[in-house]
Structure 1
Amino acid sequence: MKRVSVDIGGTFTDCFVAWDNKYIESKALTTHQNLALGFNEALKNACVELNLKESDLLSQVDSVRYATTLGTNALIQRKGPRLGMLTTMGFRSSVPLARAKGYATGLPHKEQMDVPNAQRPDPIVPIPMILDVRERIDYQGDVLLKLDEDDLRQKLRELVDKGAEAIVVTLANSVVNPEHELRVREVFLKEYPGHMLGAIPMLLSHQVGGRKGEYARAMSTIMDGFLHSTMYHGLGTLELNLRTAGYDKPMLCNHNSGGMAQLNSTDALQTVHSGPVSGIAASETLALQTELGNIVATDMGGTSFDIGIVVDGGVKYYDFNPEIERWMVAVPMVHLVTLGAGGGSICQYDRIYKTVQVGPESAGSDPGPAAYDRGGMRPTVTDADLMLGYLDPANYAGGHIKLNPKRSKQTLEELAEELDGDLIETCKLVKQTVDGNMANGIARELRTRGYEPVNFTTLAYGGNGPLHACGIARALGVKKILAPPFASTFSAVGAGNMNQMHIHELSTWTVLFDANQKKLFRDYAKFNGFVEELERRGREDLLRQGFEANKINYRLELDMRYGNQRVTTAVVTDLRRMDGQSDVLKLMEQFHQRYGERFGKGSQVTEAGVRVNTLRVCSFVETPSVNFQGLKPEGKGKKPPAPVSKRACHFVGHAKALETPIYGEDALAAETEIDGPAIVVTKATTYLIEPGWRYRATAQRAVWFTRND
């Protein structure tokens, strides 16, 4: 296997090259103005280790896979076209009202509670650009009011005259019957051919999201339209960069659904948060191959701290109405919690509680922490780590970034003055605060789902994960934590491990058990027809990308609920078709069991009736992945190599500095054991072993941190 996978983060661009049985990690600063520049730098560093030219490497690899933050940045900066929107008569206010939750969606819990100061985000589609047309389809797909095409032409003309650069169409119940949305596009193309208006894109909501829920589906379509041109030109530039360098295969893009596809089969919205989701995909592969059981995946990079859960058996959690930026959307996305706790998180004085506040604001890669000496004027977590002695100013990021301790000291002294404390105690407080914030985020995410942290193996990866692993574990109250193989570029590893996959959904009104009539579902042909249609769409996606039909796999998922409950539960089933009542009963039993696992034994209420709200088919082709070796320590640990140096480091809970040995990359040899305090410095990251903790390296440079007591 020869493969290049890339995770373009807010601060660093991580590159992981699988070259037969050799694995190379590389990093470079993210160049937001042109993502190709950061990629080229990271790839160049990897090629130096392989003793290859970039063109030679790219001409031989089987694929190049990208996970990018381009869409996230466009949403934050509001860089996108002027959108127009057409909706059903009477629904113009659906998007501006935002289910009456627009003031709080996407905000931290603390800010959600501050209702008097609540502010809605600036709308992506200005209210004057939202127009309605006369038409109506009911919930069963029957036409109640035929589309008024004269009215439609007038509204299209109005949007064009107002300067619409893209138009989204979100008609009520179009997921059940898309007849009117398709007709809107036909009229638009007839009235305004592409050669007349420069090919203004028109997006139809039923093609973006297949579930009911007018607001969430509308926002999905709006965000897809807003990101369309940015992603098209940005990713197109990346692909052109590959072509220039000698790569002649289709570029692959990672999706936030946990799969990937070629650029021509990727919606813009699917790329948002694809980097962190790639780390969860790598965690899933690791859990399956090494039998680690339950895993909580944590990625501490330069900008944020991302948390995901993979329960025993490699099952991920999904959000089917995730919140992206400040809006709810209707696309299946691997569940992810993001905290503002990265190496670049800015530290400031909290005047209310008279302590340090870390994040959520970040210095990113430009200007970056003050220590980068690129113009950063505010203290960050990285600056505090440098002052505590954990980082080597001359050997940070493999020596590619020289740190300036004077700049860090200057910014942190200003913070110390506000706290009426000294410099070192302030830095300890910063570390204790950020470690506590991350531990609290993990505990909250697990316990709200009924789990205890002690029953999970916590993975600490990302550029700063191994540096803060012991602190996170201590604050979380667990006695061991794992820095996985290739920890600093673990999300890039996951970007290379994903299968090519597409998910298609369909809202349905399928009553498996009618509580009023005491009858079981019998229209098997109708149900099977729905599933066949979703499989057909997924199959066409993958055939278009060059796969053979016999290599395509399918997985059926259903959103089910009891009676008229609002809460739905996703059920994964091995049934592909219904042939009789035994299949109906089997599906109901699977739902019964899954519901009990989620809400507690005895909470099931079959007598209220059982309904299927959504059918979801995942179509995928399995591709080779990086093989993880066993991670359990074997036998007695080996003594570490001689330290390359020593320096004084400061630790939470210790009043004075402790002389700390510094080890090089050879300390990552399997079965090497080191008692803290100690530091292991590699080209990609730093492993900090705090006092009272033991370091044990295993296969593929993975590291277990365990408490000595």
Structure 2
Amino acid sequence: MRRISVDIGGTFTDCFLVWDDARVEAKALTTHHNLSEGFLAALSTAAAELGEETDDVLAGVESVRYATTLGTNALIQRSGPKLGLITTLGYEHTITLGRGLQYGDGLTDLEKSDLPGADRPIPLIDPEHIVGVRERIDHAGEVVVPADREDIRAAVQRLVEQGVRGFVVVLLHSVMNPEHEDLVEQVVLEEYPGSYLGAFPIVCSHDVSLKKGEYTRSMSAILDAYLHREMQHGLRSLERALRERGYRRPMQIVHNSGGMSQLNRTHALQTIHAGPVAGLNAAEQVSDELDIDELITVDMGGTSFDIGLVTGGGIRFYEFDPIVDRWRVQIPMVSMVALGAGGGSIARYDSTHASIEVGPDSAGSDPGPACFDMGGRLPTVTDADLVLGYLDPDYYHGGKLKLNRRRAEQAFANRLGKPLGISGQEAAAQVRKIVDNNMAQGIFKEVALKGYDPRKFTILAYGGNGPTHACGFAEDLGVQRVLVPRNSAIFSAVGAGNMDQLHIHERSVYLSLYEALSQSLFTDYEVLNGHIDELRERGRKDIVRQGHAPESVQFRVEFDMRYGDQLQLTSMIVPFDRFTSARQVLDMIKRYHASYGDRFGEGTQTPETGIKVNQIRVVAFVPLEKVTFRGDEGAAGSSVATAGTGGDQHGGDGGTALATAPARLAKGTRQAWFDGAFAETQVYDYDALGPDDVIDGPALVEAPHTTFVVNPGWRLSQLDSYFIEMRRTA
């Protein structure tokens, strides 16, 4: 196996290179002006570690898998093209009116507490560039008013004269019958062919989403078109750079749906938040290989803190109408919550409340935290970790990035210490406490709202800063056990490399498996099977177009179900290929009843209100060879994995005596902040850690790309050669 997987974050670009039996991790600062520079810098570091030339590696790998932030950057900078919207006459104001709470979407909890004072997002399409055409298709897909070519041609001409650089087509009920949207696209291409329009996108809403919901479908198509140019230019330039260096295969792009696809089969909207989803994908594999059904995944990088949930049983949580920036959209996105609590999150003095605020804005990689000594002057979480003694200024990023402790101390003293009347060190301690508490609250909210008790879960912590803060937010949550993968700093890149070729297609339906008024079961199997077959065929074609044999394609069918008209939807895996009997319908009802009771408490089910299916989702995928997280030479770490029990190998109850770590692990000591004061703290070498070694806190364990902070009352040990376990002992 030879493959490259890359995850680009706000601060670092992470690279994971699999080269036969070798597993190499590398990092480089993200180059926001040209992402390919950071990509190639990280890859060059990995290739050098193998003793290979970068061009030889690119020529020899089977695939390059890429999780990008291009779309996120385009939204932040509002750098998309001028777009025109063609919609049904009379519905030109849909996106400006939005939904009832539309202008609250994407705001922080604090901002939502004052919605009357909140600002609506600036529209991505100017109202002057929205035109209506005479046509109408009803809710069942029947043509009521035929579309007129001349009317469409006039509308397109008006937009072109206004200088638009892309077209979005959203017509009423096109998910039931796309005939009129296809006609609009045909007219545009006839009047202004590719030689005239060049790379200007024409995006029809039914190509992006087959779900009902006029506003969210409109925003899905608009965002996809808005991001198209930035994605095309950025990824095509990267693809050219790779080809110039010897890579000849199609580039694979990670999707936020939990899979990946070739560049030419990727919608721009599918790349938003793809990096964190890649990490969650790896966590699902960890759950399966270690037989742990309840995992909270936390990815603390330089910019954000991403929270996910793995509950086993093959169930994956999706956002049904996720928010991207300030807009709700209709793509099947794996459920992740992002907080502004990364290493680069900026700490500020709040004069109104005489307190400290941390995040959500980040210093990023340029200029970065004050300690990076690249021009940043504002204190960040990384600066706090340095001031408190947790980070070695000479060993950050494996010693490749020297940190300036004096600048970090000045930032805290001047920006926070003086207005609060405390020392810079005390201000840094407050920042760390605040950010750990913010992360704990974010985790609790995410887990509790899905009906689970976080105290029953194990935390899987990764990202460059995950092991540094894991004990802190785990204590606040009451979680007793934390697992950290050996290459935690690039874990999402590992997940990107392990993704399957996968496409998701879904459709809105309104089916009652159990009709409460008539007390009858669903019997129209032909209609249900027709929907499933249609979505299966779409998925099959998508994957076959990418060179896979039709017989290699596998499918998973999911229903989004609810009781009556409640808002809560639950995703259920369907164990049947086709529905042919009432027994199968009853089986689905029983599965849903049991799942709902497990999550929200037995007795909360309300079958007397009816049981409905609102969405049908078909996941088409081809399982690809994966790097395992334990076992033998296939392990994702650079060393060979050995068998582990998955249990508490070294005790872990409150009465266990403190263990003495072997002297060979010791690197020295330094002053670090624990229990409200600095204390001389032992520092250990992560690379020397063996399977029988135990380290009790307080302690620091230094790895090339992260530092483990072991709080008092916690114990660190090696679960196997790939996972580190931190367990609470007091």
TM-score (normalizing by structure 1): 0.96
User: Could you tell me how far apart the structure 2 residues matched to 1:200 and 1:40 are?
Assistant: 29
Match for residue 420 of structure 2?
419
SS in 2 for 1:529: helix
Matched, 1:662 2:683: yes
SS in 1 for 2:375: coil
SS in 1 for 2:670: strand
Match for residue 445 of structure 1?
446
SS in 2 for 1:618: strand
Match for residue 37 of structure 1?
37
Match for residue 673 of structure 2?
651
Match for residue 590 of structure 2?
589
Q: How far does the alpha carbon of each residue in 1:59-83 deviate from its partner, in whole angstroms, 9 at most, with x for none? A: 2222111111111111111111101
| 1:638–1:412 Cα change, 3 Å | closer
Mapping 1:283-362, distance limit 5 Å: 283-362=283-362
User: Could you tell me how far apart the structure 2 residues matched to 1:662 and 1:597 are?
Assistant: 44
1:672 paired residue among 677, 693, 707: 693
Taking every aligned residue pair, what percent have the same amino acid on both sides?
A: 48
Mapping 1:564-643, distance limit 5 Å: 564-629=565-630, 630=644, 631-632=646-647, 634=649, 639-642=661-664
1:468 offset after TM fit, Å?
A: 1.0
The letter of the residue matching 1:218 is: S
Matched, 1:695 2:696: no
The letter of the residue matching 1:66 is: Y
Q: How far does the alpha carbon of each residue in 1:213-268 deviate from its partner, in whole angstroms, 9 at most, with x for none? A: 01111111000000001101111122112212211111111000100011111110
CA contact (8 A) 1:638 1:671 kept: no
1:692 offset after TM fit, Å?
A: 2.8
CA contact (8 A) 1:88 1:135 kept: yes
Task: Tell me which moved more, 331-340 or 582-591.
Answer: 582-591
Match for residue 158 of structure 1?
158
Structure 2 unpaired stretches of 5+: 631-643, 652-658
Matched, 1:704 2:728: no
1:4 offset after TM fit, Å?
A: 1.2
1:93 offset after TM fit, Å?
A: 1.6
SS in 1 for 2:624: coil
SS in 2 for 1:23: strand
Aligned residue pair count: 708
Match for residue 216 of structure 1?
216
User: Could you tell me how far apart the structure 1 residues matched to 2:722 and 2:579 are?
Assistant: 48
SS in 2 for 1:71: helix
Mapping 1:188-207, distance limit 5 Å: 188-198=188-198, 200-207=200-207
Match for residue 461 of structure 1?
462
Match for residue 245 of structure 2?
245
Match for residue 432 of structure 2?
431
| 1:411–1:176 Cα change, 3 Å | same
User: Could you tell me how far apart the structure 1 residues matched to 2:613 and 2:728 are?
Assistant: 48
User: Could you tell me how far apart the structure 1 residues matched to 2:605 and 2:665 are?
Assistant: 60
| 1:444–1:199 Cα change, 3 Å | closer
| 1:48–1:99 Cα change, 3 Å | same
TM-score (normalizing by structure 2): 0.94
CA contact (8 A) 2:670 2:683 kept: no
1:584 offset after TM fit, Å?
A: 2.8
The letter of the residue matching 1:29 is: L
User: Could you tell me how far apart the structure 2 residues matched to 1:314 and 1:297 are?
Assistant: 16
The letter of the residue matching 2:675 is: G
Q: How far does the alpha carbon of each residue in 1:347-386 deviate from its partner, in whole angstroms, 9 at most, with x for none? A: 1112233222111110000100011111101111111111
Q: How far does the alpha carbon of each residue in 1:579-609 deviate from its partner, in whole angstroms, 9 at most, with x for none? A: 2333333333333334444444344444444
CA contact (8 A) 2:664 2:688 kept: no
The letter of the residue matching 1:242 is: L
The letter of the residue matching 1:661 is: Q
1:314 offset after TM fit, Å?
A: 4.6
User: Could you tell me how far apart the structure 2 residues matched to 1:314 and 1:513 are?
Assistant: 25
Match for residue 363 of structure 2?
363
User: Could you tell me how far apart the structure 2 residues matched to 1:163 and 1:82 are?
Assistant: 7
| 1:257–1:644 Cα change, 3 Å | same
1:643 offset after TM fit, Å?
A: 5.0
1:698 offset after TM fit, Å?
A: 2.9
1:495 offset after TM fit, Å?
A: 0.6
User: Could you tell me how far apart the structure 2 residues matched to 1:37 and 1:50 are?
Assistant: 20
User: Could you tell me how far apart the structure 2 residues matched to 1:390 and 1:547 are?
Assistant: 49
CA contact (8 A) 1:4 1:496 kept: yes
1:648 offset after TM fit, Å?
A: 3.2
1:204 offset after TM fit, Å?
A: 0.6
Task: Tell me which moved more, 356-365 or 43-52.
Answer: 43-52
User: Could you tell me how far apart the structure 2 residues matched to 1:204 and 1:410 are?
Assistant: 54
User: Could you tell me how far apart the structure 2 residues matched to 1:706 and 1:591 are?
Assistant: 35
SS in 2 for 1:625: coil
User: Could you tell me how far apart the structure 1 residues matched to 2:688 and 2:475 are?
Assistant: 23
Structure 1 unpaired stretches of 5+: none
| 1:200–1:654 Cα change, 3 Å | closer
1:668 offset after TM fit, Å?
A: 3.1
The letter of the residue matching 1:52 is: E
Q: How far does the alpha carbon of each residue in 1:366-412 deviate from its partner, in whole angstroms, 9 at most, with x for none? A: 10001111110111111111111111112110111111112112111
CA contact (8 A) 2:200 2:229 kept: no
1:652 offset after TM fit, Å?
A: 4.0
SS in 2 for 1:176: coil
| 1:653–1:355 Cα change, 3 Å | farther
Q: How far does the alpha carbon of each residue in 1:3-38 deviate from its partner, in whole angstroms, 9 at most, with x for none? A: 211110010001111223332111110001111111
1:617 offset after TM fit, Å?
A: 0.7
Matched, 1:86 2:86: yes
| 1:704–1:495 Cα change, 3 Å | same
User: Could you tell me how far apart the structure 2 residues matched to 1:296 and 1:388 are?
Assistant: 27
Mapping 1:494-573, distance limit 5 Å: 494-573=495-574
Match for residue 406 of structure 2?
406
CA contact (8 A) 1:556 1:615 kept: yes
User: Could you tell me how far apart the structure 2 residues matched to 1:138 and 1:107 are?
Assistant: 35
CA contact (8 A) 1:296 1:310 kept: yes
User: Could you tell me how far apart the structure 1 residues matched to 2:107 and 2:464 are?
Assistant: 26
Task: Tell me which moved more, 43-52 or 256-265.
Answer: 43-52
Task: Tell me which moved more, 466-475 or 247-256.
Answer: 466-475
Match for residue 634 of structure 2?
none
User: Could you tell me how far apart the structure 2 residues matched to 1:509 and 1:312 are?
Assistant: 28
User: Could you tell me how far apart the structure 2 residues matched to 1:352 and 1:456 are?
Assistant: 38
User: Could you tell me how far apart the structure 1 residues matched to 2:277 and 2:703 are?
Assistant: 25
1:439 offset after TM fit, Å?
A: 1.1
Q: How far does the alpha carbon of each residue in 1:654-687 deviate from its partner, in whole angstroms, 9 at most, with x for none? A: 33x2112222233333232112222222211111
1:564 offset after TM fit, Å?
A: 4.2
Task: Tell me which moved more, 233-242 or 218-227.
Answer: 233-242
SS in 2 for 1:508: strand
Task: Tell me which moved more, 242-251 or 350-359.
Answer: 350-359
Q: How far does the alpha carbon of each residue in 1:534-567 deviate from its partner, in whole angstroms, 9 at most, with x for none? A: 1111111111111111111001112233444454
1:199 offset after TM fit, Å?
A: 5.2
User: Could you tell me how far apart the structure 2 residues matched to 1:292 and 1:432 are?
Assistant: 29
CA contact (8 A) 1:424 1:650 kept: no
SS in 1 for 2:313: coil
Task: Tell me which moved more, 79-88 or 20-29.
Answer: 20-29
User: Could you tell me how far apart the structure 1 residues matched to 2:386 and 2:688 are?
Assistant: 21
SS in 1 for 2:218: helix
CA contact (8 A) 1:141 1:177 kept: yes
CA contact (8 A) 1:176 1:507 kept: no
Q: How far does the alpha carbon of each residue in 1:78-128 deviate from its partner, in whole angstroms, 9 at most, with x for none? A: 111101111112221211112032321011111111123200111111111
Mapping 1:91-240, distance limit 5 Å: 91-198=91-198, 200-240=200-240
